[in-house]
Chain A
Amino acid sequence: MQKETNLELVRQHVSVANGLPNEHYIDQSVFDEERNSVLFNQWAGLDVCSEVPEIGDSKPINFMGLPLFIIRDNKNIVRVFQNTCRHRGMILVEKTKKIQGAIRCPYHSWCYSTEGKLISTPHVGGPGQNTDENIDRTKLSLVEIRSHVWRDVIWVNIDGTAEPFEEVMASTIDRWKELDQKLYHGGEDGKFSLKVKGNWKLAVENYCESYHLPWVHPGLNSYSRLEDHYHIVKYGSHSGQGSLVYRQLTDDKGQKFPDFKNLSKKWSTGAEYIALYPNVLLGAHRDHAYAIILLPLSYSETIENIHIYYSQPNTSSSLKKKNKDQWKEIFEEDIFVVEGMQAGRLGVKFDGGRFSPKMDEPTHCFHDWVASKVNDFRNNNHQITNVTE
């Protein structure tokens, strides 16, 4: 049965609010409700375009139980489709692969173009006959999922009801306008994945705030002290933190990554880390950027896919590796907190917790957003369904 959690306290001012109730982390029905109310009806991050670098590259992705695949079509456009054949519902793309010509269903070989059009239906009218008067191919294209690309991230609006991406994300896009430059993925030295035993929201919450730095990342804190951080809070949109003391990585020969072009002065020692709701965590610096896409596996398990980007192709591979290792260490330091907070929410008398009015506004900003979206969903009497076209 659907549990209806009380979200009134969450939406109070940060100084008096409680966090989201336990059920938002440990209850299947609330997880399902959030799937429809804060993920499928918003612009959620799915993957990055660099995962399908060449025409024809395709990759299956399971997004909260929904089988999807991404593909770079013949016209070089990255598209997202439901990974289900229009004939008998077979999975079409079972593993990452290059589509040379058409996507052939492994069951009865119906063939789709990389743009999703049904282009052949072998023997559908009997042996040797590929047509049938009742099979109208134009009505049997693959189901395409609404998508948008920004900063190499493929964002999807599964239920098709969200306002256009540029409108929804306007304030973040505007904030980082000068960073809107071509990004070069670091390749194998620029990606890694972590699996955490925690609800996806805990990864967002932990990412938003700098309060934990002195204890969880003591190494980081030696040059990036708490007082050198500022909050980024935009209620209804995003939150995070900025640093005033970013130091560029150097290798043994004193080499650094090349900078992005024409950045304002604040970026010479500045860095910003923004959680773009619901599930993408972004980082930006003068010389590199990254995106973390959170894929919820269940209410208590999440995959974090991390992708690092540079201002130019072919930057030093040893430096890229060093950078990747450094970030990996930091993100791994956060795992025990996410898992610990997950375990802590089995404490039935936990009331969602309190926020430090001074330190936790970015976290509250996220809770407030989740609560408002869940409330909207309930008020509009939406039903929890799987996917709607």
Chain B
Amino acid sequence: MSLNNKILKAHHNKNLSLLVELYQEAADKVSTRQEQNFFRVQAYVYALEVGHHLTPILHKKLVKDGVEE
């Protein structure tokens, strides 16, 4: 299954922890900084919602890139 389809399926199943992982994977696959941040923000938001253990790490990355406070 393509990453895109995996993400759609995870949305459909409301599997938020999986979305955190998949959006990070998506962030690693794109080339521009903006695209990367877009997907990382998606991962971060779902991480916040579920209280994911990676939240602080994602937060740090986003702050470092100047897109989160």
Give min CB distance, A71 to chain B, whole Å: 14
Q: Note all chain B residues with C-beta closer than 8 A to A122.
A: 41-42, 44-45
Contact yes or no, A101 B41, CB < 8 A: no
**CB-CB contacts below 8 Å: A89-133 with B:** 100-102, 104, 109, 111, 119-120, 122-123, 125, 127-131
Q: How many A-B residue pairs have CB under 8 A?
A: 56
Distance in Å from the Cβ of A92 to the closest Cβ of chain B? 12
In the complex, which residue of chain B has the Cβ closest to the Cβ of A125?
A: B67
Chain A hits for B47, CB < 8 A: 101
Q: Mostly helix, strand, loop or mixed at chain B's interface?
A: helix
In the bound assembly, the distance between CA atoms of A101 and B17 in angstroms comes to 12
- Please determine whether B69 and A128 come into contact, CB atoms closer than 8 angstroms: no
| A109 / chain B contacts, CB cutoff of 8 Å | 45
Return the CB mask of B18-59 against A: 1 if under 8 Å, else 0. Answer: 000000000000000111111011101111111110010000
Contacts of B37 in A (CB 8 A): 127-129
Residues in A51-102 with C-beta less than 8 Å from chain B? 100-102
A101 and B52 form a contact (CB under 8 A): yes
Contact: A131 with B67, CB < 8 Å?
Answer: yes
A129–B37 Cα distance when bound, in Å, is 7
Residues in chain A near residue B45, CB distance under 8 A? 104, 109, 111, 120, 122
What is the predominant secondary structure among interface residues of chain A facing chain B?
loop
Interface residues on A, range: 10 to 19
Contacts of B50 in A (CB 8 A): 100-101
B residues at A contact (CB < 8 Å):
33-38, 40-42, 44-52, 55, 62, 67-69
Given contacts A104-B49, A128-B34, A130-B41, could you give 18 more A-B pairs where the C-beta distance is less than 8 Å?
A: A100-B49, A104-B45, A104-B46, A111-B45, A119-B48, A120-B45, A120-B48, A120-B68, A122-B44, A125-B67, A127-B38, A128-B40, A128-B41, A129-B67, A130-B68, A130-B69, A131-B67, A131-B69
Which A positions have Cβ atoms within 8 angstroms of B?
100-102, 104, 109, 111, 119-120, 122-123, 125, 127-131, 137
